[in-house]
Structures are given as C-alpha cells and as structure tokens.
Structure 1
Amino acid sequence: MGSARDAIASRRSQSKVTDVAPSHEEILEFVTVAARVADHSSLRPWRLIELRGAARERLGAAIAEAEHPGENREPSTKPLRAPLLIAVVSSRRESVKVAAWEQDAVASGIAHMLTLLLDEAGWGVMWRTGHYTRSSAVAAMHGLGEHERLLGWLYVGGKPDPKEGKGDGAPKRIDAREFVSVLQ
C-alpha cells in the first residue's frame, strides 16, 4: 500500500473517462473514509447526491434552463461526460461556533478526499463547477433546501487507457516558495 503522500502526489483530474463507474456500495465505502475530514464541532454540514442514468439527463435540462431561462433549449450534454456524477452539497447547520464559510470548507474537504480515494482506487475523477450551480432550476432538480448550496459535481468513470492518448498529462508541480511565507 502506498502512502497518502504518494496518492496525493500522483493524483490528477481526468477530464475524459470511460463508461464504467463505481457501484453505490463502493461509493458508500469511500464516503465512510472521506468523512474523517476535519470538521469543527462534528456538524457534518454536507451531503452527496449520486446521479446516474436519467438523473444526468434531468440535470442537463436544468442546466439548459439555468443558461437560457424561459427558452425551450436542448438539454446540456455536459452531465453525460461521465457515467456517475456526485453532487457535493454544503448543508449548513445552525451553529454559534462554526461559521458558514467553515461549513462550506468541510463540504469541500469531503469532495477533495473523495477525489483522492477514487483516484487511488483507479477511477478517473474531475470536480466540475459552473455558474449554474447557483441557479434555482439546478437547485430544485437536486432537491436542495434553503440552507444548502451546491458546490459542484465529481464526474466519475473509468480511467482511459493511457496508450489511447486521452490522459490529461503529468500532474502539475508548483514552486511552494511562491505560496509559503514565514512570519517572524
């Protein structure tokens, strides 16, 4: 088994995936582990929604409505780019100790942990967002409550064979000195 460092260092987003996806049971196992994310007061201010099959088509219709309100447009094909989409929802809880932004950060942490776990298990994954994550049509399609915000979707599928040239290239490295300072 590799280290967390190795898994993180080798992770990369997969913009193109194949038509296979992890099962609901596999997703539950990944979520059980991802839930170890730092969570002030253990509020668990998040939830995830699996979209497969026709649910992706309904999302395409909601995106079309968000992009062109009131117009009769063809559904967006964006949700059909992967066989499984996992909607990441910040589900804020009432708290005097934990601010809303911190609760959103916990939900983001769950999403990132899932990307690492899925990648390590051999699945291709990309976190996609867009202005329509804030639209009422997309929120209604997901059944979001007033206290919930859609943070995007994890697009999940099989990793394409690298010999087919569909990879997204090597992971990009940064010069950490540009982002880390020392306070004296």
Structure 2
Amino acid sequence: MSAVLDAVRDRRSWSKVTDEAPTHDDLLPLVAAAGRVADHSSLRPWRLIELRGDDRERLGAAIAKAEGDAKPSTKPLRAPLLIAVVASYRTGHKVPRWEQEAVASGVAHALSLLLDDAGWGVLWRTGSATRSNPVAKLHGLDENEELLGWLYVGGKPARSRPSRRRLVDAERFLSPLPAKVKKKKKKKKKR
C-alpha cells in the first residue's frame, strides 16, 4: 500500500481535540502542498484565515448575531485553531463559479488530510451561520467571496478504540458509462 492511500483510508473527523495546535509556521508547508489540487487555469480561487485565541470568541459573537441568540456561540471554542476556508471567486473568467468552489473545497480537504497525517485532529464544520452577513463581515470577505466553513484543528486525544467509520462499498459508487441512454417518452398534453 502507498502512504497516501493509507493516510486517506485512515482519516477520520475529530470532534474533540486537545488544546495543542500547529503554529503558523507549521501550517505554511501544508498549505503550500494543499494548494496543488487540480485548478483549471491555475486561478487559485481560495484563501484561508487562521482564527486563534480571542478570534474564536469574536466568531462566537458573530454566529450568535447571525442566529439571533443573546449569548455567544461556544462552538468556535471547541478547538484551539480554526482555519476558515474561503472561496474567492475570479469573475469574468471562463472557469465557472462551481468549478472554482470545487477547487476551494479540494484545498480544504487536502489540507485536512495533511493535518491529520501530521498528527493533528481535524473536523470540517459548517452551519447555518456560515454564509451570514455578520460572519462574512468578521472574516473580511469581499463581495466575490463565500465562506465554506472552518477546519477545527487541535491535538489528537488518546483513543482507546479504533474509528467506527467503514470504507465505502466501491462497487456501489463506481460504474461504467451506460451502453445506451434511454430516451424519455414525451407525455401527451391534455386538452
């Protein structure tokens, strides 16, 4: 087996992490590698934002504002480092918006794999407030940008049992192209 296959197969989401986190300098080579995802025309339609310390409390307040809650959300405090994943769309280009978002998502997934392989626990979180105005304002998003969620990153706690997640049944999701496409019968209009 290859090391890459093992890393992907063994990846799991860590909903609980310790207070340890990679430094900014630890992240740089991982972000550089994650940026190598397939990217039509090399647009790099993404960016990442680190949230640490009080930044997480500010995010909790923005989430509360977006959701109409009186108390700040404590969700951002569940990890010592949050990495906001931003799709930064390049307008007026032949590469469609959906493809640019796919690139940004690919960077996030690649980065989560790299962080996991480096020994960090990672969980990709989204939520109803992800695309809200208060949260976008906090992150300083431009009008051509959307927040795709946050990678919650911290130390992996000691585990006493293996992950419960199973590999997918590949036969169920991989098929050949149909030999012949069936044509749909046109319905007759009632008069």
Please name the residue that 1:177 is paired with. 171
Unaligned regions of 5+ residues in structure 1, if any? none
Q: Which amino acid in 1 is paired with 2:9? A: A
Percentage identity across paired residues of the two chains: 64
Aligned residues: 177
- Please tell me whether residue 145 in structure 1 is matched to residue 142 in structure 2: yes
Q: Are 1:88 and 1:150, in contact at CA under 8 Å, matched by a contact in 2? A: yes
Q: Residues of 1 paired with 2:114 and 2:164: CA distance?
A: 19
Q: Residues of 2 paired with 1:94 and 1:152: CA distance?
A: 21
Q: Which amino acid in 1 is paired with 2:12? A: R
**Structure having greater relative contact order (Cα 8 Å, sep ≥ 6):** 1
Please name the residue that 1:78 is paired with. 75
Please name the residue that 2:188 is paired with. none
Runs of 4 or more, structure 1, over 6 Å off, are: none
Match of 2:86 among 89, 96, 111: 89
- Please tell me whether residue 24 in structure 1 is matched to residue 18 in structure 2: no
Q: Are 2:9 and 2:167, in contact at CA under 8 Å, matched by a contact in 1? A: no
Deviation string, structure 1 residues 72-105 (Cα, Å, up to 9, x no partner): x110000000000000000001243200000000
Q: Residues of 2 paired with 1:7 and 1:95: CA distance?
A: 38
Match of 1:111 among 108, 112, 127: 108
Q: Are 1:22 and 1:157, in contact at CA under 8 Å, matched by a contact in 2? A: yes
Q: Residues of 1 paired with 2:93 and 2:72: CA distance?
A: 42
Q: Tell me the secondary structure at the aligned position of residue 96 of structure 1.
A: coil
Deviation string, structure 1 residues 44-68 (Cα, Å, up to 9, x no partner): 0000000000000000000000111
Please name the residue that 1:5 is paired with. 5
Q: Return the index of the structure with the highest Cα Rg.
A: 2
Q: Residues of 2 paired with 1:120 and 1:14: CA distance?
A: 13
Q: How far has the Cα of 1:158 moved from its partner?
A: 0.2
Q: Tell me the secondary structure at the aligned position of residue 150 of structure 2.
A: strand
Q: Are 2:50 and 2:83, in contact at CA under 8 Å, matched by a contact in 1? A: yes
Q: Residues of 2 paired with 1:37 and 1:17: CA distance?
A: 27
Q: Residues of 1 paired with 2:12 and 2:65: CA distance?
A: 31
Higher helix share: 1
